[in-house]
A and B are shown apart, each in its own frame.
Chain A
Amino acid sequence: MQNRIVEASSFELCRLTDTMAAEVIGLDLKEPLDAPTREAIYQAFLDNQILVFRDQDLSKEQQVAFTEQFGTLERHTLTNRGASDSPFVHIVTNLDADGKPTGVLKSTRWHSDKSFRPAPSMATILHARVLPPNGGDTVFANMYATYEALGAPKKAELDQVRVVHSWELSRENIGRTLSKAEIDDAPPSTHPLARVHPDTGRRALFMGMHASHFEGGSIEEGRARIEALEEHATQEAFLYRHNWRQGDLLMWDNRCLLHRADPNFEVAHHPRVMHRTCLRGTPTG
């Protein structure tokens, strides 16, 4: 699949940085993609890790239909299913039930979506519905580049490590205790730290806020090492910062990226509402 020349006349691709992210120009995602376009989009997604589609206006059903063209829809965790009319669309919002800003922006720590699952999310599709006047960026770290920048002995060492990912732990870290139903719904999983991407065959560091510790090691030591790696991974050179525009829809590859929401706006005053769909990934092996 790698290095395959993509031929599709239906859209243009414009690279946004030297290391990742590209804008896809010329598609209305309300319409189903024909097979060559779909393949070309998927290849562009593998090559660029983040695809940006501008000026889209999809209903929840249309976003579900767009998402499903690339694989199997993933159900969200118990609390994120909410009362939404679609259990596959998670409404990411800083508003309370009455539509007032709560002052809390979630997902501000580095993570890869649902890494605590045995088969973590392959891709996330996030569609901006209501944006603050400015800020509320999403920041991405390229975990291929992070891995590739390591020295050979370090790589050889990390290639042997497995990491325990626990939603329970990551919620405790932000001060929330899960109910038994929530823990049963999302028990911890173990994944290789230097995960081989199933489509590209490249290795990427797989960690983030659900990563608890190294399997077989102490929690304290594991946490410290994960935090040190995260510091390495989130250097400016490995980052892409997405400054949202009304109508943006992003599709990104969770298998080789970390991301976080930046609360760089007045969270207590301005609403920020996004619709999120996820595609199911494969077990990491």
Chain B
Amino acid sequence: MGITVTPRAETFFAEVDGVDLTAPMTRQGFAEIEAAFHEHGVLLFRDQFINDEQQVAFSEFFGPVFTATKYAWRGEKPRLRSEMADISNIDHTGALLVEDDQRRLHARANRLWHTDNTFKHVPARCSLLSAREIPSSGGNTQFADTRAAYDALPESRKREIDGLIVEHSIEWSRQKTGFDDFSKTAREGLPPVRQVLVRRLAETGRKALYIASHASRIIGWSDAAGRALLDELVDFATQPRFVHEHVWREGDLIVWDNRRTMHRAMPYDEMADRRVLHRTTVSDEMNSVERTAIETPALQGPG
């Protein structure tokens, strides 16, 4: 296919040219993109004015596409088909969401550093975000390279945290921003799950911190000690040297590896200006704790 890959930050984040995502793609053509994805962690494709169908078709090259999380308390009509997560401040009629709309309050947690779907037993491998409408100012997205951050940790710290297990919960990250209107049904539908704190990525053999606003505690540690360590790691991984801020243009499509990055949305005037992005989320193969158990002989026990 002949793609060009240009790094846009020190350790990760590259722009890919020479791809038309409105045209059908072959497995062979995708191989180059996939190699760039594993190397750079976040890929930006500019001028891709795609529809939802084209976005799902491209996403499926990365793996099975999740049905977007449905929250039981949401009685509203969804704006988009079931595979699309609606990252916007408009409703199904195209009107701006009102100040106290549950969807708006729920989305506020996107301002916290996180990576997608760690609160699900089988988390997300990658997410693809397509910019359909961008506000006149603000609304950038920051990405943090948690692979480079892991590499930069002192060896003693690495030894200390390798092997720790973390509990993740959507309720936890939403509570942080004052959203506590989860009904009992929603809570039961999304119970806390466990993920490893340090992920080894099979494709490159590299390790990355696997942290997010959803991370609520460390198994076997007191809540206070666990949260202190998680906060410290998030602070460490989001130093300017590991962070790249993306200024959106309409037609941008960004795919990021949820297993080795975090991201967060920057504010904009959401009561006056429109921001419409469509996200597809690709599932990982399995839960990260279970995967580590399979891949690490020492944990498998005798014979």
Contact = CB atoms under 8 A, between A and B. Distances in A.
B134 A282 contact: no
Interface stretch (A68-76, A172-180, A225-233): A68-76
A135 to B, nearest CB: 34
B119 to A, nearest CB: 32
B249 A72 contact: yes
Contact of A75 (B135, B251, B269): B251
Interface string B139-175: 0000000000000000000000000000000000000
Contacts of B272: 282-283, 285
A80 interface: no
Nearest to B138: A72
Interface string A74-85: 110000000000
Given A119-B136, A282-B269, A73 B274 contact: no
Contacts of A261: none
A198 to B, nearest CB: 9
Contacts, number: 38
Contacts of B250: 73-75
A111 interface: no
A12 B87 CA distance: 43
Interface of A, helix, strand, loop or mixed by DSSP: loop
Contacts of A279: 136
Contacts of A71: 136-137
B300 to A, nearest CB: 52
Contacts of A73: 249-250
A150 B34 CA distance: 63
Contact of B136 (A68, A72, A75, A88): A72
A285 B271 CA distance: 11
Interface string B246-276: 0111110000000000000000010011100
Contact of B137 (A72, A75, A88): A72
B264 to A, nearest CB: 19
A192 interface: no
B49 interface: yes
Nearest to B136: A280
Given A280-B136, A282-B272, A72 B47 contact: no
Contacts of A62: none
A86 interface: yes
Contacts of B136: 71-72, 119, 122, 279-282
Given A72-B248, A75-B250, A282-B272, A86 B134 contact: no
Nearest to A283: B272
A88 B137 CA distance: 17
B274 A87 contact: no
Contacts of B274: 118-119, 283
B210 to A, nearest CB: 33
B41 to A, nearest CB: 24
A86 B137 contact: no
A285 B248 CA distance: 24
A87 B249 CA distance: 11
B273 A88 contact: no
A102 to B, nearest CB: 27
B134 A72 contact: yes
A119 B136 CA distance: 9
Nearest to A84: B47
A87 B248 CA distance: 14
B247 A68 contact: yes
A135 B267 CA distance: 45
A32 B273 CA distance: 27
B48 to A, nearest CB: 10
A285 B250 CA distance: 22
B47 A282 contact: no
A73 B47 CA distance: 12
Interface of A: 68, 71-75, 86-88, 118-119, 122, 279-283, 285
Given A72-B137, A281-B136, 11 more contacts: A72-B136, A72-B248, A75-B250, A118-B274, A119-B136, A119-B274, A122-B136, A279-B136, A280-B135, A282-B136, A283-B274
The list of the 5 closest CB pairs from A to B, nearest first, reads A280-B136, A72-B134, A75-B250, A282-B136, A73-B249
27 contacts: A68-B247, A71-B136, A71-B137, A72-B134, A72-B135, A72-B137, A72-B248, A72-B249, A74-B250, A75-B250, A75-B251, A86-B47, A87-B251, A118-B274, A119-B136, A119-B273, A122-B136, A279-B136, A280-B134, A280-B135, A281-B136, A282-B136, A282-B269, A282-B272, A282-B273, A283-B274, A285-B272
